[in-house]
Structure 1
Amino acid sequence: MKIYVDADACPVKSSIISEAKHVDIPVILVSSFSHFSNEEQPPGVETIYVDSGAEAADYRIMKLAEKGDIIVTQDYGLASLGLAKGCIVLHHKGFTYTNENIDQLLQTRYLSAMERKSGKRTKGPKPFTEEDRKKFSELFRETLERL
């Protein structure tokens, strides 16, 4: 089992690394070259850099992930692909993507895109809060304990 993180905009990387270290599960951070860092990662953490293309990180994660792996992403499309592959998929705001909720999330994303395409303004995501961080940490810990 491995943990794959869609790392470009993930605000909970340090929590993931810390918790994964306790249970000795490898973490793979997938990030675009535009977010390159010389920062050395702790043992058990690998960073994979991909082109800056729109879905380059998503494609690499799906190429590497296997059934039963954990994926952390805010991207509904990647979440959908991960679920289809049998992965456990978590959002950094502290909820699990499921086969029961993914269709509604994708539909909402599609409708918002259509509104923007027609010139309307849509609301962006709410700011990430400390409560979101705590909620994610609890969910992540529980997920690791179940496994």
Structure 2
Amino acid sequence: MQIWVDADACPVTVKQILFKASRRTGMAVTLVANQPLQVPRLPQVQAIQVPGGFDVADNEIVRRVAAGDLVVTADIPLAAEVMDKGAHALNPRGEMYSADDIAARLTVRDFMDTLRASGIHGGGPSALGERERQAFANALDRWLARATR
């Protein structure tokens, strides 16, 4: 098992939490992005740079992910795809995606895309606060506890 990170838009504080957890547990963490990334010098932490382009990093994660792995992403379509392969998906705000809610999340996402395309601007999500960072760390710890049993 390992952790995959959709790293292009992943907040720095979330990456730091992941690196700390990897250092503590030895869990492999792979960041996938279309830009160069700095990662700590730990044998279990690596970065994969993919070419630029629409969904190139997402497609690489889907290609490599295995059942039981964890994918950290705010990208709902990516979360749905990796869950179809038996992996788990966690967003940077500490919400674990589930089979029960992924279809509804995709519908809301598509609706918001339609609104934005029609000129109605809803803005993006708020900045990650301490509550969200703590929620992410707690959800990650719960997943790690189950994964390392």
Report the TM-score when normalising by structure 1. 0.93
Letter in 2 for 1:28: T
- 1:51 paired with 2:55, answer no
- Give the structure 2 partner of residue 77 of structure 1: 77
- Give the structure 2 partner of residue 146 of structure 1: 146
- Give the structure 2 partner of residue 134 of structure 1: 134
Distance 1:79 1:107 in 2: 14
Q: Between Structure 1 and Structure 2, how many residues are aligned?
A: 145
Deviation at 1:39, TM superposition (A): 5.7
Letter in 2 for 1:26: A
Q: CA offsets, 1:4-46, max 9 Å, x none?
A: 000112120111121122222111010113xx14665422101
SS of structure 1 residue aligned to 2:48? strand
Distance 2:28 2:42 in 1: 11
- Give the structure 1 partner of residue 22 of structure 2: 20
1:1-147 alignment runs, 5 A limit: 1-11=1-11, 12-33=14-35, 36-37=36-37, 41-147=41-147
SS of structure 1 residue aligned to 2:63? helix
Q: Where in structure 2 are there 5+ consecutive unaligned residues?
A: none
SS of structure 2 residue aligned to 1:99? coil
The sequence identity of aligned pairs, in percent, is 32
Q: CA 1:89/1:43 → structure 2, altered by over 3 Å: closer, same or farther?
A: same
Q: Where in structure 1 are there 5+ consecutive unaligned residues?
A: none
> Which of 13-22 and 98-107 deviates more?
13-22
> Which of 37-46 and 81-90 deviates more?
37-46
